[in-house]
Amino acid sequence: MKKTATRLADGRELIYYDAHGDAVRDAVDQRPLDPITTRSGIRHDPLLGDDVAVASHRQGRTYHPPADECPLCPSRDGRHTEIPAADYDVAVFENRFPSLAGESGRCEVVCFTSDHDASFADLSLERAGLVLDVWADRTVALSRLPAVEQVFCFENRGREIGVTLGHPHGQIYGYPFVTPRTRRMLDSVAAHHERTGRNLFDDVVAGELADGERVVIDGEHWTAFVPYAAHWPYEVHLYPKRRVADLTELDDAARKEFPQVYLELLQRFDRIFGEGEPPTPYIAAWHQAPFTAVNRRDFALHLELFTIRRTSGKLKFLAGSESGMNVFINDVPPEAAAERLREVASK
């Protein structure tokens, strides 16, 4: 992997990650961009105890541009995009409309390929492996920023989930705090250890493997299953068999097998609802240990992949119960979801 760091016209960082060492990335951003003035702030909710990022400058952000105005395509034919090069493998840059910036953290965009019409599921094994290396490298880079306590690599895919740019890309958020969801997992892990002397993540994964009914893929180095109390209609959790705290600690064997397992999962997601359905909208979320949490060594890196589509043409909405009381209603039994995800395996 070759890494070339540069700056966009408004001072934002842009980093090219190339598979081969001979790539030359010296194109200059020719756009007359004003410097970014971020007006983000973190506000604490005294009753719920969580923090909200208030980001008032984002309302004007790019919204479903036509394909020939895509800001994530390479710059070609006189058209200038966020990526000055005429081609790229993987490119990462600071979001022009960040939810978190400066002392509030950091938001980055990760372009998985220069092919506007591809999906992550279409990537080659080599490219998917490069993206994994990029996520790990960004985790290291963001860990060095004083404002960042936790790094979240994720992909939102599909209009139904609010994605406003069709070009295959993900995002990385560097939060200035431990997120509520991670805090809850760490608390559960601490309580379980106190009670049993064992690691809760290990027990959950071992329990799923022993039961087997919700296992979707049992690889050599990775395990994918629908959790017993899945919140979403189709939801898969993917764990490396050797527990590690974050992406930077994966060993070579796990890194090598990942592309195969993950691409297979994404391809199965697109087959859940049968032929002729539009691509399945999904969120793919990497859960990593925060940097300074007391029991960070007990955290288990894993990916949570889920869709908001509950059946052909129908979405799961977060309405009264979910948004008002944080109680999820799931209309697809996890065992049925797992069975479907095994049925649609690649031949």
> What residues are labeled active site?
169
**Interacting positions 26-55 with a second copy (CB under 8 A):** 43-55
Burial class (CB in 10 A: 0-12, 13-18, 19+), 34: exposed
| Interface pick for a second copy out of 206, 211, 317, 345 (rule CB under 8 A) | 317
**Residues binding a second copy: number (CB under 8 A):** 74
Query: Does 277 sit near a second copy (CB under 8 A)?
Result: no
Identify the CA nearest to 69 among candidates 164, 161, 163. Answer: 164
Query: Does 180 sit near a second copy (CB under 8 A)?
Result: yes
Beta carbon of residue 327, minimum distance to a second copy (angstroms, whole number): 5
| Interface pick for a second copy out of 206, 253, 327, 345 (rule CB under 8 A) | 327
Residue 257 CB contacts under 8 Å (≥ 6 apart), including other chains: 219, 220, 221, 222
Query: Does 103 sit near a second copy (CB under 8 A)?
Result: no
State CA 232 to chain mean position distance: 16
Q: How far is it, in rounded angstroms, from Cα 107 to Cα 144?
A: 14
Do the Cβ atoms of 173 and 145 come closer than 8 Å?
A: no
Beta carbon of residue 311, minimum distance to a second copy (angstroms, whole number): 6
Query: Does 297 sit near a second copy (CB under 8 A)?
Result: no
Q: Report which secondary-structure segment, H or E, holds 259.
A: helix 252-269
By beta-carbon proximity to a second copy, the closer residue of 44 and 297 is 44
Beta carbon of residue 92, minimum distance to a second copy (angstroms, whole number): 16
Beta carbon of residue 197, minimum distance to a second copy (angstroms, whole number): 16
Place of tokens 């999962």: 265
Q: Report which secondary-structure segment, H or E, holds 134.
A: helix 125-143
Helix (H, G, I), strand (E, B) or coil at 251: coil
Q: What token pair was written down for 82?
A: 């966020």
| Interface pick for a second copy out of 37, 59, 292, 346 (rule CB under 8 A) | 59
Query: Does 123 sit near a second copy (CB under 8 A)?
Result: no
| Interface pick for a second copy out of 7, 31, 79, 184 (rule CB under 8 A) | 184
Beta carbon of residue 162, minimum distance to a second copy (angstroms, whole number): 3
**Interacting positions 194-253 with a second copy (CB under 8 A):** 200-201, 204, 227-231
Q: What token pair was written down for 25?
A: 């990335």
